[in-house]
Structures are given as C-alpha cells and as structure tokens.
Amino acid sequence: MKNIGFDFKVTHICKQTGARTGLLTTPHGTIETPCFMPVGTQATVKAMLPRDLHEIGSQIILANTYHLYERPGHELIRDAGGLHKFMNYDKPILTDSGGFQVFSLAASNKIKEDGVEFRSLLDGRKHFFTPEKVMEIEEALGADIIMAFDECAPYPADERYTKAAMERTHRWAKRCQDSHKRSDQALFGIVQGGMYKNLRIESAKVLTDMDFFGYGIGGLSVGEPKELMYEMLEVLMPHMPENKPHYLMGVGSPDCLINGVMRGVDMFDCVLQTRIARNGLALTMNGKKMLRNATFEHDFSPIDENCDCYACREGFTRGYIRHLIKAKEILAAQLITMHNLRFSLKLMEDIRLAINEDRLYDLFRQLTAQGALS
Amino acid sequence: MKNIGFDFKVTHICKQTGARTGLLTTPHGTIETPCFMPVGTQATVKAMLPRDLHEIGSQIILANTYHLYERPGHELIRDAGGLHKFMNYDKPILTDSGGFQVFSLAASNKIKEDGVEFRSLLDGRKHFFTPEKVMEIEEALGADIIMAFDECAPYPADERYTKAAMERTHRWAKRCQDSHKRSDQALFGIVQGGMYKNLRIESAKVLTDMDFFGYGIGGLSVGEPKELMYEMLEVLMPHMPENKPHYLMGVGSPDCLINGVMRGVDMFDCVLQTRIARNGLALTMNGKKMLRNATFEHDFSPIDENCDCYACREGFTRGYIRHLIKAKEILAAQLITMHNLRFSLKLMEDIRLAINEDRLYDLFRQLTAQGALS
C-alpha cells in the first residue's frame, strides 16, 4: 500500500563508524534520525505536559497498543478523534503492536496460529489478538507509525522454538500488511530470531522482501547481556534494507543508544528515562545519580550543570529535588523526568551532529571517558 | 519595626457591598487584593511547576512553617538562600506560624505559657515551639509575609478555654513582635476568639493596638457551619483596622471566597483546590465535577468551557482526564490542579473587577444562580 505523507532518506553516513543520519517524514512532521522516542504508555508520557515534551525537543513519542486497548479502549480513542487529539500531542506518534505486552504482561496467554488468546491484567477477561485485530486497533488509535503484530520469543529460548516464533511472526506480518488500510499510517515489520544469527539474517531477508516502510528489531534487550545484543546487531544490520528506517524496540539507556546508532539503528524507545525518574535516579554526563541519597542533602548545584532542561536551567538544585523525593512530592517526578528525557534527546542531538561531522566514535570515546554511559 | 519594601493601600470600596480592592506591596512584588494564595506546604504547590503558577496568575503562595521545619529543616532552606531560591519561586511568599499544625497535626502536644511542646509526626522526636523560636524559623525561611505564633482553639471550645487561648495568643504576638528582626519581612498578628463575638472584638482591639502590618483571622473554618463563620466575620470585620490587610486563614472554597470578600477579607489560602484535584474533583462555573465518574467517559468537552487554563484552553477533555485518573497517571493531577487553581484565581480577578465596578453583589447572585458556588 502506498503511504501518503511519508518519506525516509538517509542524509549522511559517518565515515568513522558507518552510522547514519536521516529524515523521516510523517503526516505529523519530520523526524531527524537517529531519534529517541519518549514512551507514553497510557496516552501520556508520565508526569509531562505535552508542551513540556515540545520544549525538550521530543520529535515523536510511542504509545502502547496493549494498554490503550485495555484502557480506555481503542474505540473510545477513535471516537475522541484519534490518539493525537485524545492526548493533545500534535507531533508524530508510533504505536507498538501489543505483541511484546501480550507475552510479558497479560495474566495468561495461549499462542495459536491465528493469534494470541490472553487474559486481561485489569479485569481478567479473555481477549484474542490476531494480526487483523491488531491492525484494527492501531488504525483506531491512529498513530503515524504502527508496528506489525509479532511473537517475541523469550530469552533464553531454544532454536526450534525461536524459529517457529519467527516464522509465525513473518506470516503475521503478511496478514498485517494485507489487512492494514489507512494510507496515512506507515506499517513497520518486526525482525525476530532471538539470539540466533542465522535466524536474524533470515528474518531480515524475508521481511525485506515484503517491503515494509520501516523495520522494527524486536526480541532484543529481553534479558540477554548487552554484549550479546550488540553482537546480534552487528550480524543483523548489514542485512537490513539501507533505505528504510531501523527501529531497535524497547532499547534506550545512554550506552545502548550510542552503541545502537554505531551499528546502524535509527530509532529507539525506552521507559528507563521516565521510570527511573520516578525513583529519584537522574542521568548525567558523569553517570547516574540517585538524588534520594543523603549525599545530595546540602548540594545546591543543578542535576547536571551542562544540561539545558527547565530543571537544570532554572536552578532547581539537587538538594531541593532530594527534599521533594523525601517528601513524596509529585514535582520530583516532574523535574527528573523532564531532565532525563532532555538528557537523552540532547544525547541524540549530539550523536546526529557527530555523525554529520564524521566523528561519532570520538564522541563515543569522550562520553565513555566522562562516565556518561555508565 | 519598620518594614522596608512593604505597603498596603485600599484602592476602592464597593458601593454595593463594602468589599474592598487594594494593593499589597512586598519586596518580591505587588499583589492585587482580594487575593487567593495557592498552598505550597512542602515548598512546592503540589503538581505545579513554578512557571505553571506564573501562567495561571498566581500572585503569592503560602508555605507551611511546621512542615518545612520538620523537613527539610529551616537551616537547610536558609543555607540554600531562603525559600524563594530553594523552591524557585520569585514572587511573594507567606509562611504561616505552624501554630495551627502543632495543634492539629503533631503526634502529641502540650501547651505551656512559654510555648508548645510537641512530638514530630515524622520521627517522634520532641520539639518545643516558642514565639521566639517560630520567628527564628520564619526568618530562616525568609518569606515576605510571616505570621505570629498563635494558639488556635478547637471547635467547639468553651468560652473560658477560648479566652485563655486568645489571651496567650496576644502575649505570644507581642513576643513575636519583640523578637522579629528582619525588616524585609512583614509580620501579621492573628485574631483569635473562637466563636465568641465578644472575644473576637476584644482580640481585634488588642492586636490593632499592637500595630501589626497586617492581620490574620485564625480559628475559623475549623469545623463550624459556614453560616457561623460568616456571622463571626460580620461581627469582627468592623473592628479590624481599615488600612491593614485582612487575611482569613485556611479558607478558600469558591463560596467562602466571595462571602469572605463581601465581609471585608483581603487574603485567603486553602488546600482545597489542589487536594480535590488529586482526587479527580474539578471546580467549574456550574459546580464541582467528579471527573472520575463514568458519566464523563465519552465527554470530549473541556473541564470548563469558559476557563482559560492550559488544560481547558488546549483541549484536554473530560474523557481524557477521566482516563488519566482511572490509569493513575500523574498528568491527571497536573491538569486538574492547574485548572482548579486557575479557576480560583480567575474568580478573584472577577471579584476584584466587580468591586471596582461597584457590583460585587450582582456577581455573587450571578455565580449563585450558575451553581458556581455550590
């Protein structure tokens, strides 16, 4: 199907690393890649007003199909005019397919060739997700980029199981492609294959032949060591279509961001930034800082003096934020979330600049030396 | 003591009601009265960034001495450069004296002539508040307006007890006046006297003779019927010094705001707006709306279509906010808090305009007819 209002082009390839910058155009705007997508699971990036997201330079956010299907329901969001209008976010949105959540979050699940039967965590009721049903839900939600329904094999899983899951993912990808109707949405296929190099390469080839607008890389960062994930990427990425966006799903710690980009990834999403913020943990250029700790009680410096987020720029201090955490004040989550997201978006800005100036590996070494990736 | 950088003048008296508008100048800015002060108990107005407070037209906020003394401690706030700097709020701040909290919140308390011994709710440790100690704490916090340490009699209380508490409050007020040193802070005395008209009049006279910069009215809205509170105000207010600001402490529901103003009150504070917001209850021109209710599930209109707050202006709908409440998302508290505070600040703007145009009673009747006060 032709996608109206979409485009992707690679704008530069870093001579030092082979990493690429690009422009991904959607009906709600053009995204500079590589990009990091803040996660708005339940149609809100936790503790952030949409205008705060704009301010920190968020280009695109992710919302979770599984959660929104369960609550408030995709029909309600369709009736509200779609996700953009419902949550008041006018920039691009990507929805995942719920595949990962059906396997990892649902109270129980049963995989069949036709789809997955699962019980809701909210009310215990039985639901059945098929590729066609997921397309219907994602069309109702109305995101710009939608993901095909896939089966994400657990880690560890034996090769036979992983291969069967991958092949079903390919069949489901085809069914998604066949049933998806909205031309103002771009459908991404999802490469699976677990930790098996041959399967990863096979999955990339099969899906490339199906000619999706873009490609998710699923089933990584599911419990395996980071080095193994990087190894899988090194094997897989040369087989991914060069002229399509590559999205490493559910990955986004600072070290994974730059390591992913160096291996050819264009898009990332991760709940880490927002989740650790609510626990008082802040990302900084010198590593993570647990602002809850007593060591910050009398520390009247900003979270990160080099950061330009509202919290750092306006002089909210570590001592003040520690007080807010101890006093269980919502403002702690607001300020640290804003900071952690801005930190990650700024990192991506730095990465894009370094790619365009053919010095991404220099940046990697500099960030490593500073402790920013630890 | 002379207050540097302070002034209060009445600018107009409503011919219809006798209510007044005024200008209250402090070192951090001039406040148009009558005014409503959002409450920032623990050095943050819950769920609001300081810039959000500026946007909704907040002129002055209140912070609680008792809470800040317990956590993070007044010395820490002094070391951070005072409350304005600590919490990043550059407009006027008022601190209460902790008197009310020592009686209502502390784990236990014992009143002596010298002060009050109480046990901390946080750690069970014993503390002793005297008028001199409270002045020391409030000076360390560094608010623009500070309240004298008072004894707030419970409701109901017999006349003998209430009179003794009032007389102690007068002696403590004198001690506060004698020990307060910062000329960049204005000290308010607090009128007590419970529900006894003769005591209220006596308290007003005694404190007027002591010539405070302004006057709190304490011990109202402590459980008595609203009609009784209004009756007490009607008896008391003619005895309050006309050229000084009158602050009705801890009162601020929409009906109490306009009823208080009509009886001569210039300043209010209340946790209602922010507290009910976190439970999903929104103030509107047609009365309170519990947005958690299923009736709002498919309601895609704003909280209040006449409101100009970010939430109402930008099209966040009741249905969306209901979803956020059900999903326990922080954004629900952020949006409803913003709305409820703006609603109340806008009500005060409308009240000031009506006073200046000698039609406050007309506004009162109109708001009553609309259901805005119910």
Shortest CA gap B27–chain A (Å) = 21
* Cα B264 from chain centroid (whole Å): 15
Shortest CA gap B120–chain A (Å) = 15
A113 exposure class (CB count in 10 Å sphere: 0-12, 13-18, 19+): exposed
Interface probe with A: pick from B320, B324, B326, B335, most Cβ of A within 10 Å: B320
Instruction: Give the integer Cα–Cα distance in Å for A182 and A289.
Output: 44
Q: What are A221-270's pLDDT values in tens digits?
A: 999 999 999 999 999 999 999 999 999 999 999 999 999 999 999 999 99
* Contact flag A310-B71 (C-beta cutoff 8 Å): no
- Asked if residue B137 has pLDDT above 70, the reply is yes
Which pair of structure tokens corresponds to residue A307?
Answer: 């950061």
Is the confidence metric ipTM above 0.90 for this complex? yes
Chain B residue with Cα closest to A77: B320
Instruction: Give the integer Cα–Cα distance in Å for B318 and B297.
Output: 7
Choose the closest CB to B320 out of A46, A47, A86.
A86
Residue among A40, A132, A122, A127 nearest A86 (CA): A40
Q: How much is the mean pLDDT over chain B? A: 97
- Asked if residue B61 has pLDDT above 80, the reply is yes
Chain B residues with at least one Cβ partner in A under 8 Å: 42-44, 46-51, 71-72, 76, 79-81, 85-88, 297-298, 300, 310, 314-317, 319-320, 322-324, 326-327, 329-331, 333-335
Which pair of structure tokens corresponds to residue A27?
Answer: 């009906």
Choose the closest CB to B79 out of A72, A298, A330.
A298
Q: What are B240-255's pLDDT values in tens digits?
A: 999 999 999 999 999 9
Choose the closest CB to B300 out of A80, A310, A330.
A80
What per-residue confidence (pLDDT) applies to B123?
87
- Asked if residue B80 has pLDDT above 80, the reply is yes
What per-residue confidence (pLDDT) applies to B167?
98
Pairing mode of beta strands A186-191, A214-217: parallel
* Whole-Å CA distances, A100 to A151, A175, A218, A221, B25: 7, 18, 9, 12, 59
Residue among A78, A336, A352, A36 nearest B298 (CA): A78
Average pLDDT over residues B80-90: 98
What per-residue confidence (pLDDT) applies to B108?
83
Cβ pair A191, A217 in contact under 8 A: yes
Q: What are B271-305's pLDDT values in tens digits?
A: 999 999 999 999 999 999 999 999 999 999 999 99
Average pLDDT over residues B136-159: 97
Shortest CA gap A94–chain B (Å) = 19
What per-residue confidence (pLDDT) applies to A258?
98
Average pLDDT over residues B141-153: 97
- Asked if residue B106 has pLDDT above 80, the reply is no
What per-residue confidence (pLDDT) applies to B2?
76
Interface probe with B: pick from A309, A320, A324, most Cβ of B within 10 Å: A320
* Contact flag A319-B87 (C-beta cutoff 8 Å): no
Chain B contact set for A87 (CB, 8 A): 320
* Contact flag B324-A44 (C-beta cutoff 8 Å): yes
Instruction: Give the integer Cα–Cα distance in Å for B348 and B343.
Output: 9
One-letter amino acid at A72 equals P
Tell me how far apart the 2 most distant CA atoms of chain A are, in Å: 60
Q: Which residue has the tokens 């098929």?
A: A130
Cβ pair A358, A352 in contact under 8 A: no
What per-residue confidence (pLDDT) applies to A1?
62
* Contact flag B320-A46 (C-beta cutoff 8 Å): no
Chain A contact set for B326 (CB, 8 A): 71-72
Interface probe with B: pick from A291, A298, A325, A329, most Cβ of B within 10 Å: A329
What per-residue confidence (pLDDT) applies to A132?
98
Residue among A39, A60, A66 nearest A137 (CA): A66
What per-residue confidence (pLDDT) applies to B103?
85
Cβ pair B39, B61 in contact under 8 A: yes
* Contact flag A320-B88 (C-beta cutoff 8 Å): yes
Chain A contact set for B271 (CB, 8 A): none
What per-residue confidence (pLDDT) applies to A2?
75
List, in order, residues 6 or more apart from A136 with CB less than 8 Å away: A74, A179
Report the share of chain B in percent with pLDDT over 70: 100
A116-119 β-sheet, strand order: A108-111, A116-119, A126-129
Catalytic residue list of B: 96, 269
Q: Which residue has the tokens 């609680």?
A: B64
Please report, in tens digits, the pLDDT of each residue of chain A (374 residues total).
Answer: 678 999 999 999 999 999 999 999 999 999 999 999 999 999 999 999 999 999 999 999 999 999 999 999 999 999 999 999 999 999 999 999 999 998 888 778 899 999 999 998 888 899 999 999 999 999 999 999 999 999 999 999 999 999 999 999 999 999 999 999 999 999 999 999 999 999 999 999 999 999 999 999 999 999 999 999 999 999 999 999 999 999 999 999 999 999 999 999 999 999 999 999 999 999 999 999 999 999 999 999 999 999 999 999 999 999 999 999 999 999 999 999 999 999 999 999 999 999 999 999 999 999 999 999 99
